[in-house]
Structure formats: C-alpha cells, structure tokens
Amino acid sequence: MKKITVLLLGCLLICGCTKNEYVEPKNITIEENENIYELYKDVFVKDLIKNEDIEIVNKNKLINTDTIGENKYTLEYEYNNKKYKHDITYTIKDVTAPIFIRKISRLNMLKDSKDDPCKSIIYSDDYDALPKCEVVGEYDTSTTGSYNVKYVLTDTSDNSIESNFTINVINEMPKNTSSGGGGGTSKLDFSTAIERYKNKDTMVGIDVSKWQGDIDFEKVKNAGCEFVIIRMGSNTAPDKDMSEDAYYRTNLQKAKAAGLKVGIYSYSSATTPEIARKQAKWMKSVLNKEQFDFPIAFDWENWSKFMDYNINLHTLNETFNAFYDELSTDGYSSMLYGSASYLNNVWENKFNYPVWLAHYTSKTDYAGEYIMWQMSNTGRIDGINGDVDIDVYFNKN
C-alpha cells in the first residue's frame, strides 16, 4: 500500500494534474483574461483577471514580462475578510524583430577571402544577445565582380529583418581617402555658435575632458561661453573600474572659479545594471554630495566592441536605468547622452529621462525630446588649443 501511495503522489507532482493547488471559496470562480502579453510590456497584477468582487493584493504591482513562454504568477486576494491564493499561467511573446545598429550598403572583399560578411555590421535584438545573421543571395569570392545580396537577421522567436547590400569582390583594397568621421574637418568658431543659437531660452557652452589639456577658463568665459560639461571618469571595458579623468578636479575648480555653470559626465562601458550601479556609486563617493547645474550625463558609445559584449538591447537600456536610479538616491538627476541614430534605434528611454543629443549639424532633425544638443565636435574657442565640442542647452522654465 505504501508503494502505491508514493507512486500516485509522484504522478500528481510530475503531471501537475491540478491547475490550482490552493483552497478557494466555493462561490467564487477566478475568471482569467487571455493573458498573452508582449515581451517587456508593463502588465499589472490586476490585468490578469476579470473579477471585480474580490480584493486583489498588490493589484498595481508589475508582473514579470522578461521571459518568453509560459510564466506563473500566484495571485493573492481577499474575499469576505479571508485571504486566498490562485495560480495563474500567462504567456509572453516576442513580436519585435532584431535591428541593424550599423549596416552597410557596400562591402569590399578581397578575392578568395574567407571573411564572414556578418562581421562587418553591428546588430542586436531586444531579447537575443546575438540573433542569427546570414547573407542571402549568391556571391563567389573566387571570382571578382559585384553581387547583390542581403543581410537577414532572425531571433529565436522567428522575427526577422533584412537589408540589401552589394558585395564587391576585388583584387586589391582601395586606399582610404576619407577625411575622417564625426563632425568632419570644418571648424566652428564659438562666436558663430553664439550668433546662431544664443537667445533668451538657450545657453551656449562646451564639454571637455583630458583631451583638451590645460584650459584657460577665464578666456573661455570671456569668449561668451556660459557653461561647461566636464568628464569625471571613464572605463574602456566592462571588467575595468572607472578611472577619474586626469583633468577632472582641475577643470571643475577652474570652471567654477571663472563663474561658469558646471555639469559632469561619465564615459561608460557597462554591460549590466550591476556594473552601472557600481559606477554610479563610485561617482557618488567622489562627489560627496556636491551639486551641479545640469543632470549628470551617462555616455555609452563603445559600439565598436558591442558585438563582443554579448548583451541584448533590453539589458543595455537597463544599464542606464540602473545608473539613473543609483544616482537618484543622493538626489542627483541624470541624462542620457547619445547620437540621433542611437537615440532613435537603440535607446528606449521609456521613463522619459532627460536627453543630451549629439548631432553634428547646423540644424538637427531629431524629433525626440532633449534638453541639450551637442552640435559640433570641431569647435574652436579662445582658451583651448584645438577642437572642442560645442553644446546648446535649452531652458525649459
């Protein structure tokens, strides 16, 4: 008899024959909704059921929507002053295709090359760290010529996206005649920036780091500069600690002494929320409650290493959210720094945190909200030898 009892119990545990293991009131039937939701969407406990005659505990709590497939939530509720529980199964689906972070329209490959064309682009997915990349179309690296093909990115939920490009199989690589990226070679005098962008609702300033060397902030102020954003620290890889910018303390002291408004930023390569929190804690320990005139900026732009980091877009966005949350515990606000392209395609910013836009043009067409615009990285101003970034801050008062 004992053997039979054990076998029956084991069968029940394995089969999961009962949908709900809890005792519930006989005159109450929990009416569940369809409970199929999109990945990462905000779903509250109260959304799981239709019942209006029970009091749901933590009804405004968010349930986990970070895991694809079937999930379980144990609903707690009160009825006639008694507490009960009910297990609910809900399904999370990924309906979002991967994205091209950087794509190309033409790829030169040497004759007989064995290189993988997918190594020439940067791509990601909201859930998969490395979605499948394949080249669709015929090309032959043993024969010179042009081949029209396409990249196809596919995630584990079979969402896909494609992009056409041309493979040119050649005998010798052309010489690089590029004049450089970023803001180009034309210089923008700070006085010109003032003429174009200074008005009653704006301030025009600069951002600096050790790369500007010794700065005469009195000359900078006399040139019409109203504020400076100073790099406090940086880390070049996720496993490296933040290091203080060699000129941070000097720049901060001299900028304040010159009467400039001051903000700071950190250059981060964080790949997890935990690393971002650690970096924010380091900043707080150095700052020691010191206040600034602008939100502290989070600068993540190590895109050349992105494919090696093995992270998805959701995790990347969570790094900034964690950075923001950690700094807020000491009363600091933060802002997200990014180029127009990355702000449009990579950064979700679902909490509408302040944005510092980088777009090197005389008139930006970025449609999102931003409080500061880095409009040139080849600015020139008295007091600094060489190029400096020029920024426009928009007063919201």
Domains, the chain, in order of start with CATH, read 22-93 (2.60.40), 99-170 (2.60.40.10), 188-394 (3.20.20.80)
Structure pTM? 0.88
What is the pLDDT averaged over residues 312-318? Answer: 97
CA distance 207 to 212: 10
- Alpha helix locations (H) across 71-127? none
Query: What DSSP line would sit under 141-169, residue for residue?
Result: TTS-EEEEEEEEEE-TT--EEEEEEEEEE
Q: Provide the residue type at 192 as one letter.
A: T
* Confidence label for 236 from pLDDT (cuts 50, 70 and 90): confident
More confident residue, 72 or 25: 72
* Confidence label for 308 from pLDDT (cuts 50, 70 and 90): very high
pLDDT tens-place string over residues 163-184: 999 999 999 998 865 443 344 5
pLDDT at 12 over 60: no
Q: Provide the residue type at 310 as one letter.
A: N
What is the pLDDT averaged over residues 39-64? Answer: 96
Q: Which residues contact 1 (CB under 8 A, 6 or more apart)?
A: none
pLDDT at residue 177 in the model: 52
pLDDT at residue 8 in the model: 37
Q: At what angle do helices 313-328 and 273-287 cross, to 10 degrees?
A: 30
Q: pLDDT over 90 for what percent of the chain?
A: 88
Q: How many C-alpha atoms does 18 have within 13 Å on its Cβ side?
A: 10
- Encode 281-319: b = buried (16+ Cβ within 10 Å), e = exposed: ebbbeebeeeebebbbbbbbebeeebbebebbbbbbbbb
Q: For the chain, what is the mean pLDDT?
A: 92
pLDDT at 15 over 80: no
pLDDT at 49 over 80: yes
Ranking 3-7, 42-46, 185-189 by mean pLDDT, the lowest is 3-7
What is the pLDDT averaged over residues 351-362? Answer: 97
* Confidence label for 26 from pLDDT (cuts 50, 70 and 90): confident
What is the pLDDT averaged over residues 119-126? Answer: 97
Contact 294, 370 (CB under 8 A): no
pLDDT tens-place string over residues 76-117: 999 999 999 999 999 999 999 999 999 999 999 999 999 999
